[in-house]
Amino acid sequence: MGVIDIPHVPSSAKVTNQFKQLSCYVTSYVVKIPHPVLDISNTKQVLEIREFYVDQLPLDDIYDMESCKYRGHALVINNHQFETNALSYRDGWKLDSDNLRDLFEFLKFEQNELFNLNAQRMKEAIADFARDEKSVNASSLVVVILTHGDAESFFGVDGCRVDCKTDVVEIFNPNAAPDLQGKPKLFLFQACREKPEDSTREASAPQNKSKDEQWDTGPSNVPRYNMLIVNATLAGSKAYRKNNVGSLIINGFCRIVRKKAYEEHVLDMITKLHHELNTPVEHPDTVHRLSRKWYLFPLQMFCKRLQDELRTHYNDKLKFVYTMPWLPTEG
């Protein structure tokens, strides 16, 4: 589950390390004195887990990720081959596609990935996604757009514009999509956000960048309702990608989420992404209007994962038991 910014509460890494240390002591104890069942429910480490993940985290402060048919539904629009010479081929698109597909499989999200759409088809795909049965019956939604863009728009492969505000974000507001009201929504945009008069020029690497580094030639000032909107770069700037890495923001986002999704909520992970990409080359721009903490995995899943991890440190013949009335887990 997530990390809570309370000074007196230990970090999840510290708690996990304490558990591992405890397991070593237990293993030594069992070798010396055979013991069929060890109840560790009242140990300092277990009590800290309770304080850390339950007592300090009221359920009404967390988005519900388990009551719907689907945990999440993701739409990915990945444009890389454009019909106009003014918009260059987007190298690295395949790496982004693979990373995102693997991530959503890891998160157990339903996903729909579309490639090389013109502007009209992009608008239709986004509207269809907002009305889709899987979206209506999902606990959360993710929209990822990878293309060229300018300060307020994304480009279809035909060079026509898709307005970030009216054609994308507002499609998901409560008036337009009442069935999606209250659900957390993440928008991840990999596109440049230069002025319109600059964005139609063919994107190329600056003089001090290597030849495999290119820019994506996206948008601001959007309304938000239970939304987290992450742009790859600040307004007026270019979005960065490399042939052998893909988009920096997609690469970093997928890696951080896979590593931290069981422990931290989404906004904390985005903060880590900001820290990692805070360079002279690129800095993400995030608009945050989530009303609760958004954990991609529930508390029970985290504790089950921790229990499975700890079990590997024990002798197979030893059965250790959690007797925690506040959380039913396997013995």
306 and 176 in one domain?
A: no
Quick check: is 26 in a domain? yes
Quick check: is 327 in a domain? no
261 and 142 in one domain?
A: yes
From the CB of residue 61, how many other CB atoms can be counted at a distance below 10 Å? 11
**Banded pLDDT at 141 (limits 50, 70, 90):** very high
Q: Which position has the higher pLDDT, 132 or 57?
A: 132
**Banded pLDDT at 193 (limits 50, 70, 90):** confident
Q: Poorest-confidence range of 57-61, 299-303, 322-326? A: 322-326
Q: What is the predicted pLDDT for the residue at 243?
A: 76
Rounded Cα gap, residues 84 and 136, in angstroms:
36
* 3-state secondary structure at position 313: coil
Instruction: State the virtual CA torsion across 16, 66, 265, 134 in degrees, nearest 10.
Output: 140
Cβ atoms of 168 and 212 closer than 8 Å: no
Instruction: Give Cα 99 distance to the centre of its chain.
Output: 12
Quick check: is 330 in a domain? no
Q: How many independent structural domains does the chain possess?
A: 2
Please state, for a pLDDT cut of 70, what percent of the chain lies above it. 60
- Kindly report, residue by residue over 4-54, the tens digit of the pLDDT: 344 444 555 666 666 556 555 555 544 444 444 445 555 565 556 555 555
pLDDT surpasses 70 at 156:
yes
Average confidence score pLDDT of the chain: 76
Cβ atoms of 218 and 164 closer than 8 Å: yes
Q: What is the predicted pLDDT for the residue at 50?
A: 56
- Kindly report, residue by residue over 51-108, the tens digit of the pLDDT: 555 555 566 788 999 889 999 999 999 999 999 999 999 999 999 999 999 999 999 9
- Kindly report, residue by residue over 276-293, the tens digit of the pLDDT: 887 766 678 889 999 999
Quick check: is 4 in a domain? no
Q: What is the predicted pLDDT for the residue at 297?
A: 86
Cβ atoms of 168 and 236 closer than 8 Å: no
**32 is in which domain, residue-wise?**
12-61+297-321
Rounded Cα gap, residues 323 and 331, in angstroms:
8
Q: Which position has the higher pLDDT, 309 or 37?
A: 309
129 and 94 in one domain?
A: yes
**Banded pLDDT at 194 (limits 50, 70, 90):** confident
Cβ atoms of 276 and 264 closer than 8 Å: no
Q: Which residues pair with 145 in a beta bridge?
A: 77, 189
147 and 57 in one domain?
A: no
280 and 301 in one domain?
A: no
Q: What is the predicted pLDDT for the residue at 42?
A: 59
- Kindly report, residue by residue over 211-232, the tens digit of the pLDDT: 444 545 455 444 457 999 999 8
Quick check: is 5 in a domain? no
Region 313-326: what's the mean pLDDT? 40
**Banded pLDDT at 210 (limits 50, 70, 90):** very low
Q: What is the predicted pLDDT for the residue at 245?
A: 84
Cβ atoms of 221 and 235 closer than 8 Å: no
**Banded pLDDT at 145 (limits 50, 70, 90):** very high
Cβ atoms of 118 and 147 closer than 8 Å: no
78 and 19 in one domain?
A: no
Q: What is the predicted pLDDT for the residue at 87?
A: 93
Burial of 33 (0-12, 13-18, 19+ CB in 10 A): exposed
Q: What is the predicted pLDDT for the residue at 242?
A: 72
- Here the CATH number for the domain that contains residue 273 is 3.40.50.1460
Rounded Cα gap, residues 254 and 273, in angstroms:
10
Measured CA distances, 112 to 77, 212, 246 (Å): 9, 29, 20
